Amino acid sequence: DKGGKFKLEASAGKLYPGLKVDCKSDLADVNKVSVGHTYTGLKDTQLKLEHKLTNPQEFTGEVTYSTGIATCGMKFTSAVLSGGIPDFGVRLLSGPYFCSVLAKEKFGAFTAHGFYKATPDVKCAASYQYGGKSNGNFTLGVSYKGLYKVKVAQDQSICCSVKHSAAKGFTVLSGLKYDIKKGGYSYGVQLSIE
């Protein structure tokens, strides 16, 4: 990489039907070698587990199941072995509509997301947080052709941005944020060269 360090990544997908195993290492410390397992051998189900090679007791995992328009999931850590509660989520996708609900922090915080593709050019989205540190936070946004965006948030701020392709490979992104409560604003311009 840029810092002169080495990395090694390897994967195997033929060890067992539906099982893929990945290993990642910085080639410097065996304690940093991570191992990931993904199993898709059950219909409409995916199981993932990741841990350090030298400490498999410390792990993260997730299970997802899809049927029809719904996908349900659970994300957990090794804390479940000592009574911890996983995070749960459900999402629904039907035509131009998408919504999801996530339950985190031992069912103490819920996040709801909604999305609607009104036309091929106009997309609307909203999110709301109930419970937890961000209780009451919400955002509402509209995008036109992915080039013009407006977002309103609970902190009484309005953000808008415009994306313009100046020439092939050159994109200019301009943005403005106005804080209604404070009466102040900030702005910026970003040039991307591809």
User: pLDDT, tens digit, for every residue of 71-117?
Assistant: 999 999 999 999 899 999 999 999 999 999 999 999 999 999 999 99
**Which pLDDT tens digit goes with each residue over 113-130?**
999 999 999 999 999 999
Strand 148-153 with 8-16, pairing:
unpaired
Q: Of 103, 123, 125, which is closest to residue 114 (Cα–Cα)?
A: 125
Q: Which residues contact 10 (CB under 8 A, 6 or more apart)?
A: 22, 23
For the record, the structure tokens of 88 come out as: 């749960």
Q: What amino acid occupies position 135? A: N
Structure tokens at 187: 């702005």
Other C-beta atoms lying within 10 Å of the C-beta of residue 50: 16
The answer, yes or no, to whether residue 51 has pLDDT greater than 90, is yes
- The sign of the torsion formed by the CA atoms of 123, 121, 163, 93 equals positive
pLDDT of residue 1: 62
